[in-house]
């Protein structure tokens, strides 16, 4: 099992500068991914509670139902800051 | 009735003294005779519409003669700053208002930087301009007094040179004691994508205010004078500190706006399959324009008057001082979208360069980019050919071509004369009627927002009902793309005052979210707050009605509760719709481009999504109902009479 999670620049300092983290433990949903991330980088889950962070799985943005969204072996998860613009 | 008579009748009714602490004058300026009169906005108007955008609508309502045409000198151009402009962190903004020569509906455009705040420092809340200057003119406001200067030396100058020359000639320092609202060659040439520049990048952009100012032969309004302290009703600085802390403590400001600026939105939009691409024929584009690709070219950030956020990214493509467009200010997300995917450009460097050129030429990048994209699609489809374009092949992604088109448009040269007519190109005989099918515009205004709104139904409704035309800054429910809010129904219900479906592509209750945003943003414009830092646009935790209410009381002594402010937001929309009704706007105009109804979204998780006509019509009816509007989209009789009695009590 390997799920790769890509971090935006603003979160990389929390992960020792890494731009991606790979999770090898079994995960089934994005909620599991967040728990696994927090094990690798304590405190990261709290950071991800910030409303600025959205998730994309395999290049598809998730706009709702995030926690329960299924994750499979080989998936690419990306944390995407979402703000407005003008 | 001629404008002078209208003004005289109105001035006779207006108070001659301030109605509350910090209120500035309304200056009525007859440009043809170089005469001015001053008065104050009545308190009942401020309590109904506030100032800024709100009171601008009062003045337009009273002075508009819809039997004329928008560029007629008897149609006024009105500048107004908000109740809190210049006093509160991030409240640095003001509006200019008129009848749009681009759209035929209201022109109402907002700017930050320094000009709206410095107008207030000169004791002026509103500036009502009418009549045509006898020659090209520069109007200087020095310590509150008007001086007239011949603008012949400045005619033909674009923004960069204009700012250099005016600073040299008048001796002030930008951002310290000097500000300017000016037009460029595009405005002089009545180009319908021309804005009024309010800084190196800041622009009153939408609806062709630059053309309107050009028609009055007014090249620039310059303010000179030191900033001042206002005598407020009560101490306000302690609460300012709370607002500043709230701004800087909000994650979207801390992590994104202050660091990178608005281009952050490009990535979620393209991943969603909601990125308007090639005039919205496609909906996703390259990752080569993601915000992090701008990082190497961003030497720093800038900000507006007394704003702690500093969200404006500067750019530097080259250190060669001889390259006029090698550095500049921006791009914002809108410009990135309009000059990237929408015209098929894949690399960030040409997008930044085109941004810098637009800032110099004084273009509304939304209308300009859209006009070019529209032309490119027409060329792609064979609806226009090289015989129509002066031999130019309007191929997607040709940045060099686009650069040339911008300069041609500013001068109305060759095919630039067609682009200069923006959405009116069919009406003016440049394109066949079939071209309208591919025009991405509502109420004659090109879409401001790079988003393709076939997925997000709340976005779509907002674009359809916005009073100035197809523009996201009037009411966009941006938090619809925020998964955490969608996944917390109770929080979302509190945010919008009732349930709103979590599904972005659902029509259920989306009218409620648009109504809440429209009220909030109209109030924000009328107090002078920046949209980026107003609650509901970027974050649920930024300053909103509660904070505005408290600080209005501190600054002015006026007691307006959050719910009364919400009502004021509704009033502003109501008056705008009453004016639009006089200009012929009806329910049929609160709609969307055919493409979004008829063509399914071609990519992404929501592939196949489109706007269903029957569902949209029902959504629009629900929106009218909760907005207290008739089936034709104007205030219901009882409310209309109430507004009319407030706006024109002697009528």
Distance from the Cα of B440 to chain A's closest Cα (Å) equals: 18
Helix (H, G, I), strand (E, B) or coil at B205: coil
Same domain, B441 and B461: no
Domain containing B510 — which CATH number?
1.10.599.10
- Check whether B271 has a pLDDT greater than 80: yes
Nearest CA in chain B to A60: B271
Q: What angle do CA B645, B648, B650 make, to 5 degrees?
A: 95
Q: In what order do the strands lie in the sheet with B203-204?
A: B145-150, B137-142, B218-224, B178-182, B196-197, B203-204
Rounded Cα distance between B238 and B218, Å, is 41
Q: How high is the pLDDT of residue B240? A: 97
Same domain, B292 and B196: no
Q: How high is the pLDDT of residue B259? A: 81
Distance from the Cα of B504 to chain A's closest Cα (Å) equals: 7
Which range (B143-147, B246-250, B578-582) has the least confidence? B246-250
Average pLDDT, chain B: 97
Same domain, B50 and B188: yes
Same domain, B153 and B212: yes
- Check whether A10 has a pLDDT greater than 90: no
Domains of chain A: 3-81 (3.10.20.30)
Q: How high is the pLDDT of residue B280? A: 98
- The DSSP line for A21-57 is EEE-S---BHHHHHHHHHHHSTTHHHHHTSTTEEEEE
> A50 touching B, CB under 8 A?
yes
- Check whether B94 has a pLDDT greater than 80: yes
Same domain, B267 and B342: yes
Per the CB < 8 Å rule, is B487 touching A50?
no
Q: How high is the pLDDT of residue B260? A: 81
Rounded Cα distance between A24 and B435, Å, is 54
Q: How high is the pLDDT of residue B515? A: 98
Q: How high is the pLDDT of residue A82? A: 79
Q: How high is the pLDDT of residue B650? A: 73
Same domain, B363 and B462: no
Question: Is 0.95 topped by the overall pTM?
Answer: yes
Same domain, B178 and B262: no
Same domain, B427 and B503: no
Average pLDDT over residues B253-279: 89
In a domain, B452, yes or no: no
In a domain, B53, yes or no: yes
Same domain, B99 and B200: yes
Which residues of chain B neighbour A82 with C-beta distances below 8 Å? 264-265, 268, 481-482
- The DSSP line for B300-347 is -EE--TT-S---EEEEES---TT-TTSEEE---HHHHHHTTGGGT---
Measured from the Cβ of residue B295, the count of other Cβ atoms closer than 10 Å reads 13
Nearest CA in chain A to B262: A85
| Nearest by CB: B481 against A9, A78, A82 | A82
Segments of B351-444 assigned E as strands: 441-442
In a domain, B603, yes or no: no
Cis peptide before B331 (omega within 30 of 0): yes
Same domain, B118 and B214: yes
Of B185, B203, B224, the residue that ends a domain is: B224
Tokens 């406001």 locate to B141
Count of residues in chain A:
86
Per the CB < 8 Å rule, is B262 touching A63?
no
Q: What is the ipTM of this complex?
A: 0.91
- Check whether B256 has a pLDDT greater than 90: no
Dihedral sign, Cα of residue B599, residue B603, residue B608, residue B611: negative
Q: Which of B305, B309, B311, B258 is nearest to B87 (CA)?
A: B305
Which range (B205-214, B265-274, B510-519) has the least confidence? B265-274
- Helices B489-496, B510-527: axis angle to 10 degrees equals 50
In a domain, B263, yes or no: yes
In a domain, B434, yes or no: yes
For residue range B280-312, list pLDDT tens digits in order: 999 999 999 999 899 999 999 999 999 999 999
Confidence of residue B251 (pLDDT cuts 50, 70, 90): confident
- Check whether A83 has a pLDDT greater than 80: no
Of B172, B200, B224, the residue that ends a domain is: B224
Nearest CA in chain A to B254: A10
What stretch of H or E contains A78?
A: strand A76-81
User: Token pair of B509, please?
Assistant: 């209750």
Same domain, B209 and B115: yes
Q: How high is the pLDDT of residue B261? A: 83
Q: How high is the pLDDT of residue A85? A: 63
For residue range B360-381, list pLDDT tens digits in order: 999 999 999 999 999 999 999 9
Per the CB < 8 Å rule, is B271 touching A55?
no
In a domain, B505, yes or no: yes
For residue range B444-460, list pLDDT tens digits in order: 999 999 999 999 999 99
Distance from the Cα of A49 to chain B's closest Cα (Å) equals: 8
What stretch of H or E contains B36?
A: strand B35-39
Nearest CA in chain B to A86: B334
Per the CB < 8 Å rule, is B333 touching A10?
no
In a domain, B598, yes or no: no
Which range (A5-19, B25-39, B53-67, B128-142) has the least confidence? A5-19
Per the CB < 8 Å rule, is B255 touching A84?
no
Confidence of residue B252 (pLDDT cuts 50, 70, 90): confident
For residue range B397-422, list pLDDT tens digits in order: 999 999 999 999 999 999 999 999 99
Q: How high is the pLDDT of residue B253? A: 85
- The DSSP line for B582-651 is HTT--GGGS---HHHHHS---SSTTTT----HHHHHHHHHHHHHHTTB-TTSSB-HHHHHHHHHHH-TT-
Rounded Cα distance between B273 and B286, Å, is 11
For residue range B611-638, list pLDDT tens digits in order: 999 999 999 999 999 999 999 999 999 9
Contact criterion met (CB below 8 Å) for B80 and B125: yes
Measured from the Cβ of residue B300, the count of other Cβ atoms closer than 10 Å reads 10
- Residue B438 lies in domain: 237-445
Per the CB < 8 Å rule, is A10 touching B256?
yes
- Check whether A84 has a pLDDT greater than 80: no
Helix (H, G, I), strand (E, B) or coil at B532: helix
Which residues of chain B neighbour A59 with C-beta distances below 8 Å? 271
Average pLDDT over residues B201-220: 98
Contact criterion met (CB below 8 Å) for B104 and B424: no
- Helices B53-63, B3-13: axis angle to 10 degrees equals 120
Tokens 């080259």 locate to B318
Helix (H, G, I), strand (E, B) or coil at B390: coil
Distance from the Cα of A33 to chain B's closest Cα (Å) equals: 16
Cβ contacts of residue B2 below 8 Å, gap of 6+?
B74
Count of residues in chain B:
651
Same domain, B219 and B302: no
Helix-then-strand count for chain A, H and E: 2, 5
Per the CB < 8 Å rule, is B257 touching A50?
no
Domain containing B252 — which CATH number?
1.10.569.10
Cβ contacts of residue B546 below 8 Å, gap of 6+?
B562
Number of domains in chain B: 3
Cβ contacts of residue B459 below 8 Å, gap of 6+?
B449, B451, B453, B472, B476, B477, B480
Nearest CA in chain B to A56: B271
Residue B299 backbone dihedrals phi, psi, to 5 degrees:
-75, -15
Contact criterion met (CB below 8 Å) for B167 and B178: yes
Of B416, B445, B474, the residue that ends a domain is: B445
Confidence of residue A86 (pLDDT cuts 50, 70, 90): low
Which residues of chain A neighbour B448 with C-beta distances below 8 Å? 86
In a domain, B606, yes or no: no
Nearest CA in chain B to A64: B483
Per the CB < 8 Å rule, is B255 touching A55?
no
What does DSSP say about strands B218-224 and B137-142: parallel, antiparallel, or unpaired? parallel
Per the CB < 8 Å rule, is A67 touching B473?
no
Q: How high is the pLDDT of residue B255? A: 80
Confidence of residue B651 (pLDDT cuts 50, 70, 90): low
Which residues of chain A neighbour B484 with C-beta distances below 8 Å? 49, 51, 53-54, 66
Share of chain A above pLDDT 70, in %: 97
């Amino acid at each position: 099992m390997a799920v790769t999670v890509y971090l935006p620049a603003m979160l990389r300092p929390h992960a020792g500068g890494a731009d991606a983290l790979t999770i090898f433990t079994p995960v089934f949903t994005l909620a599991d991914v967040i728990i696994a991330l927090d094990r690798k980088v304590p405190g990261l889950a709290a950071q991800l509670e910030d409303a600025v962070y959205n998730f994309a799985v395999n290049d598809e943005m998730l706009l709702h139902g995030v926690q329960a969204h299924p994750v499979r072996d080989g998936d690419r998860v990306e944390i995407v800051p979402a703000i407005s613009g003008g | 009735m001629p404008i002078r008579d209208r003004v005289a009748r109105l001035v006779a009714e207006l108070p001659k003294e301030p109605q509350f602490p910090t209120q500035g004058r309304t200056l009525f300026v007859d440009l043809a005779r170089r005469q001015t009169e001053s008065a104050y906005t009545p308190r009942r108007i401020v309590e109904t519409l506030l100032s800024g955008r709100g009171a601008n609508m009062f003045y337009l309502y009273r002075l508009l003669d819809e039997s004329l045409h928008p560029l007629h000198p008897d149609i006024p151009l009105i500048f107004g700053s908000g109740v809190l402009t210049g006093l509160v962190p991030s409240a640095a903004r003001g509006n200019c208002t008129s009848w749009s020569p681009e759209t035929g509906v209201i022109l109402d455009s907002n700017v930050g930087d320094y000009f709206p705040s410095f107008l207030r420092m000169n004791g002026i809340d509103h500036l009502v301009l009418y009549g045509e200057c006898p020659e090209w003119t520069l109007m200087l406001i020095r310590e509150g007094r008007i001086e007239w200067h011949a603008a012949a030396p400045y005619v033909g100058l674009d923004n960069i040179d204009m700012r250099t020359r005016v600073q040299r000639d008048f001796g002030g320092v930008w951002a310290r004691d000097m500000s300017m609202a000016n037009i460029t060659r595009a405005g002089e040439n009545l180009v319908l994508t021309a804005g009024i520049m309010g800084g190196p990048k800041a622009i009153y952009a939408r609806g062709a205010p630059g053309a309107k100012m050009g028609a009055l032969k007014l090249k620039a309004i310059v303010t000179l004078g030191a900033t001042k302290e206002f005598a407020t009703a009560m101490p306000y600085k302690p609460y300012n500190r709370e607002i500043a802390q709230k701004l800087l403590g909000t994650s979207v400001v801390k992590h994104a706006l202050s660091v990178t600026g608005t281009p952050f939105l490009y990535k979620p939009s393209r991943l969603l399959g909601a990125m308007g691409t090639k005039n919205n024929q496609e909906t996703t584009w390259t990752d080569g324009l993601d915000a992090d690709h701008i990082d190497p070219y961003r030497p720093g950030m800038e900000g507006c008057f007394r704003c702690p956020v500093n969200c404006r990214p500067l750019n530097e493509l080259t250190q060669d001082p001889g390259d006029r467009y090698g550095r500049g200010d921006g791009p914002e997300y809108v410009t990135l979208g309009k000059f990237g995917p929408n015209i098929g450009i894949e690399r960030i460097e040409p997008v930044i360069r085109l941004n810098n050129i637009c800032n110099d030429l004084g273009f509304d990048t939304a209308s300009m980019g859209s006009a070019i994209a529209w032309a490119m699609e027409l060329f792609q489809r064979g609806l226009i050919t090289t015989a129509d374009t002066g031999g130019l092949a309007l191929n997607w992604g040709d940045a060099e071509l686009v650069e040339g088109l911008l300069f041609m448009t500013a001068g109305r040269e060759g095919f630039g004369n067609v682009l200069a007519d923006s959405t009116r190109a069919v009406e003016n005989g440049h394109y066949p009627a079939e071209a309208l099918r591919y025009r991405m515009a509502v109420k004659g205004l090109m879409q401001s927002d790079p988003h393709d709104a076939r997925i997000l139904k709340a976005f779509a409704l907002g674009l359809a009902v916005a009073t100035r035309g197809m523009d996201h800054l009037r009411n966009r429910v941006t938090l619809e793309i925020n998964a955490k809010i969608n996944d917390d129904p109770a929080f979302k219900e509190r945010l919008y005052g009732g349930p709103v479906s979590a599904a972005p592509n659902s029509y259920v209750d989306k009218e409620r979210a648009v109504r809440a945003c429209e009220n909030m943003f109209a109030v924000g414009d009328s107090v002078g707050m920046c949209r980026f830092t107003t609650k509901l646009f970027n974050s649920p935790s930024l300053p909103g009605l509660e904070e505005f209410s408290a600080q209005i009381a501190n600054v002015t002594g006026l007691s307006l509760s959050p719910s009364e402010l919400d009502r004021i937001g509704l009033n502003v929309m109501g008056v705008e719709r009453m004016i639009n009704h006089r200009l012929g706007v009806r329910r049929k105009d609160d709609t969307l481009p055919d493409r979004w109804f008829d063509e399914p979204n071609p990519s992404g998780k929501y592939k196949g999504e489109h706007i269903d006509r029957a569902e949209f019509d029902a959504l629009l009816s629900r929106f009218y109902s909760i907005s207290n509007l008739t089936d034709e989209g104007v205030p219901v009789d009882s409310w209309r009479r109430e507004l009319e009695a407030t706006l024109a009590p002697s009528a």
